């Protein structure tokens, strides 16, 4: 941790965001191979750990995107749709877990660097949550661009989708800048980072009444 600086953290975040954009295309030709469970967040620390966690988060969104598409089909058996819904549920849980892991890893790097007496002011979303949004935006940009290349649609469809691509790119640039500016606010001591735990209840048989109620 001694070699970590704010500039290194910002460079790592830039690299992670750029990787999100590049990998959307790459993964359509071959998905990465990750272990199912990245393990304890403490074992994935530092710059390399942050990069891997953001990539895992993005890979989860990549898979979620395509299962969500499949779940909208009307020409398949109900069992297929049910399987999609279960997959979506599981991937959403992983997605939220990764957001927390990203923030845990990032905050561990930031904590020793924070100015003494930094203000107890917090952003409306964490860096991990913003990276999740950037991941979704990267997926939207890629798939909206695909619509612009279709040969089975009229010119109006292509024109509308091309305009949306422009908006999505500008939004992606704005959010990328905002993430880096938030790190600058940490450095200035005007805001503090914090991990926000979502404590999802629906997957926990001890907390979901539809699950524990059946046992009675």
Across residues 205-211, what is the average pLDDT? 86
End-to-end CA separation in angstroms for the chain:
50
Does residue 1 form part of some domain?
Answer: no
Does residue 81 form part of some domain?
Answer: yes
How many Å apart are CA 183 and CA 186, to the nearest integer? 5
Does residue 201 form part of some domain?
Answer: yes
Across residues 112-134, what is the average pLDDT? 95
User: Quick check: 154 pLDDT over 90?
Assistant: yes
Domain extent, residue 168, equals 6-215
User: Quick check: 1 pLDDT over 50?
Assistant: no
What is the model's pTM? 0.90
Q: What is the number of structural domains in the chain? A: 1
List pLDDT tens digits, range 73-109.
888 998 989 999 999 999 999 999 999 999 999 999 9
> What pLDDT shows up at residue 44?
67
């Amino acid at each position: 941790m001694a070699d970590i600086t704010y500039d290194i953290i910002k460079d790592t975040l830039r690299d992670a965001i750029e990787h999100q954009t590049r990998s959307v295309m790459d993964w359509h030709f071959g998905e990465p191979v990750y272990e199912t469970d990245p393990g304890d967040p403490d074992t994935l620390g530092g710059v390399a750990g942050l990069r891997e966690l953001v990539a895992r988060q993005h890979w989860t969104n990549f898979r979620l995107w395509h299962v969500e598409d499949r779940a909208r089909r009307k020409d398949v058996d109900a069992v297929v749709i049910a399987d999609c819904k279960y997959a979506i549920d599981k991937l959403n849980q992983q997605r939220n877990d990764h957001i927390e892991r990203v923030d845990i890893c990032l905050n561990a790097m930031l904590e020793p660097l924070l100015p003494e007496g930094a203000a107890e002011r917090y952003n409306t979303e964490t860096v991990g949550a913003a990276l999740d949004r950037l991941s979704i935006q990267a997926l939207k940009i890629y798939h909206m661009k695909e619509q612009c290349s279709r040969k089975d649609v009229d010119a109006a469809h292509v024109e509308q989708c091309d305009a949306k691509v422009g908006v999505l790119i500008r939004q992606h640039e704005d959010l990328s800048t905002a993430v880096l500016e938030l790190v600058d606010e940490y450095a200035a001591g005007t805001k503090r980072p914090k991990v926000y735990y979502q404590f999802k209840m629906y997957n926990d048989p001890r907390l979901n009444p539809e699950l524990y109620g059946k046992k009675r």
